[in-house]
Amino acid sequence: MQELLMVRYGEIYLKGLNRPYFQNLLLARIKSALNNLTSKVTLHDSRIYIRDMKDSAACLHAVQRVFGVHSICPAIEMDKEDFAAVCEQAFQLMSGLSGGFKVFARRADKRYELDSPQICAAIGEYVLKRNKDLHVDVKNPEHKLNIEIRDKAYLYINVFAGPGGMPIGSNGKATLLLSGGIDSPVAGYMIAKRGVALSAVHFYSFPYTGERAKQKVLKLAQLLAAYCGELRLFLVPFTEIQMSIHEKCPADYTTLIMRRFMMKIAEIIAKDEKSQALITGESIGQVASQTMRSLACTDAVVTLPVFRPVIGFDKIDIISYAKNIGTFATSSLPYEDCCTVFTPKHPQTQPKIEAVEEAELFIDNIEDLINQAVQNSELIQL
C-alpha cells in the first residue's frame, strides 16, 4: 500500500498519434515543478503517478500550477487482488465522515473478476455496515469514494482541479510586454496556459519609477514563472526615449509614439529569444492607446503577430482572473509604472497612422534610441 498523487490530463487525450509527445512533455513539466520534492514521477496507463513524496501538500500545490494538468487525486495504491483489503482501506478512508456517500468504480482492467457495479455494491456495503454515520445517497452525495482498478487498485476521495491547458513548450514561445499593472500578467498567463513558453519585457523609467516598482515587476514575473517554468525577463531602460518623445513630439501623440517604441523594442528582443509572437494586456477602449485605431497604429511597427487575450474583457473580469491566478495583490501595489509617467492630458484616441508617423519624425535618432535601450537592457533569469 502506498500513498501517491494520481494526476489526470485533459486536452492531451484529444491528441492523435502525437499524444506521446504531449504526455512526455507534461511529465517533464511536472518533474520540473516538483524539483526537489520527489524524483519518482512516472507515466503509466494514461495517468501520471507521483510517489515517495517528502511533503505531499507541497507536491499537490506545485502540480496544481502545471499547465496540462486536469486534476490531481491524493490516492492510496494497493494490490487489487486482495479485495478484502481494498474494502477495509475504503472503510478507513471514510472513517470519521458522516452524511450521504456514493461509491464510483472504474475498471480499466477489464479482466478483473468483479465488474464496476459489483465493486460499487461490495465496497458500499462494507463501508455502510461499519460506519453508522454514513448513508447511501446516489443522487447528491456529500462524499464520493472512488476506486479505480488498473494494474493496481487506487482509492481516493478528494479531487483537486489543475489549471487545464497544454504543457508549456508544446506550442512554441512568445514574448510578453509586462507592465506591472493588472492586465499584462493575466494576458501572459492565458497564452502560457495554451502551452506557450514565455519571455517578458518590462520598460522602466528611472528615476520616475524606482526600486520598488522594479521589485513589483520581479514579483509578478516570479508569480508567472510558478506556472510557466523558466522565464527570462528583460528590463529595458526607457527614460531617455520618453524624454525625447516628451520634448520633441506633439503632446497628444506622445502615448501612442511611446507604445510604438515599446513594440519595436519588444520585437527585437522577441526575435532574439526566438519568440513567434508578442503578447500584451490590452483591452479595447480601456485607455486612449487601446482604441482600435490606436492598436492598429502600434501593430503597424511590428511584423510578429500580437496576441491580446484580454482584448474583449471588461476590467472587472480581468481583475477577477488576476485574483484567481494570484497576481492581483502584487499588481495593485501603488508604485508608478512608466506608462503613466508622462500621460498627456488629452491623448489622441482616433489617430491616423500617417499623422503618427509624421509626429514621430520630430525624433531624428529613433533607431539609435531603440538600439541603445536594447543594448542596455538587463536580463533576469527566473
Partner 1 sequence: MKVYLDNSATTRPDDQVIQTMSLSMSNHYFNPSALYPPAVEVDQMMAECRRNIQRILNSPGQVIFTSSGTEADNLAILGTVKNNHQHGRILHSAGEHAAVLESCKYLSESGYDVESIPLKRDGQIDMIKYEKLLTENTQLISIMQINNETGAVSPISQISKLRDAICPDAHLHVDGVQGFLRHDCNAFDLGIDSYALSAHKFHGPKGIGALWISDRVTMSALIRGGGQENGIRSGTQNTSGIAGMNRAIEIYPRINNMRNMKLRLYRHLLIKIPELIINGSDPEAITSADHILNISLPPVRSETMLNALAAVNVYVGNGSACSSKKRQSSHVLKAMKTNQNIIDSAIRLSLNPNITEMQIDYAVECIADIYKKFKPFVRR
- Is residue 247 close enough to count as binding partner 1 by CB under 8 A? yes
The crossing angle, in degrees rounded to 10, of helices 183-193 and 315-325 is 60
CB of 241 vs partner 1, minimal distance in Å: 13
Binding status of residue 208 toward partner 1 by CB under 8 A: yes
Residue span 111-140 as binding mask against partner 1, x where in contact by CB under 8 A, dash where not: ------------------------------
User: Using the rule CB under 8 A, is 342 a contact of partner 1?
Assistant: yes
DSSP state of 98: -
Number of CB atoms found within 10 A of residue 120's CB: 18
Q: From CA 8, how far away is CA 47, in angstroms rounded?
A: 6
Whether residue 92 contacts residue 156, with contact meaning beta carbons closer than 8 Å, is answered with: no
Decide if 6 contacts 71 (C-beta within 8 A): no
User: Toward partner 1, which CB reaches closer, 343 or 371?
Assistant: 343
Interface with partner 1, residue 243, by CB under 8 A: yes
3-class secondary-structure state, position 148: strand
Q: Phi/psi of residue 4, each to 5°?
A: -155, 175
CA–CA separation, 4 and 27 (whole Å): 15
Position 24 contacts partner 1 (CB under 8 A) = no
Rounded to whole angstroms, how far apart are CA atoms 58 and 34? 9
Binding piece for partner 1, criterion CB under 8 A, among 37-45, 90-98, 299-307, 338-346: 338-346
How far CA 231 is from CA of 168, 210, 259, in Å, comes to: 11, 22, 23
Out of 179, 209, 290, 330, the only residue in the binding site for partner 1 (CB under 8 A) is 209
Please give the residues from 251 up to 290 whose contact with partner 1 meets the rule CB under 8 A: 251, 254
Shortest reach from residue 211's CB to partner 1, in Å:
7
Alpha carbons 282 and 238: distance in angstroms, whole number: 20
312 touching partner 1, by CB under 8 A: no
Binders of partner 1 among 82-111, rule CB under 8 A? none
- Using CB under 8 A, which of 118, 206, 272, 371 touches partner 1? 206
Task: Rule CB under 8 A: choose which of 14, 17, 111, 207 binds partner 1.
Answer: 207
Which stretches of the chain bind partner 1, using CB under 8 A?
206-212, 243, 246-247, 251, 254, 333-336, 342-345
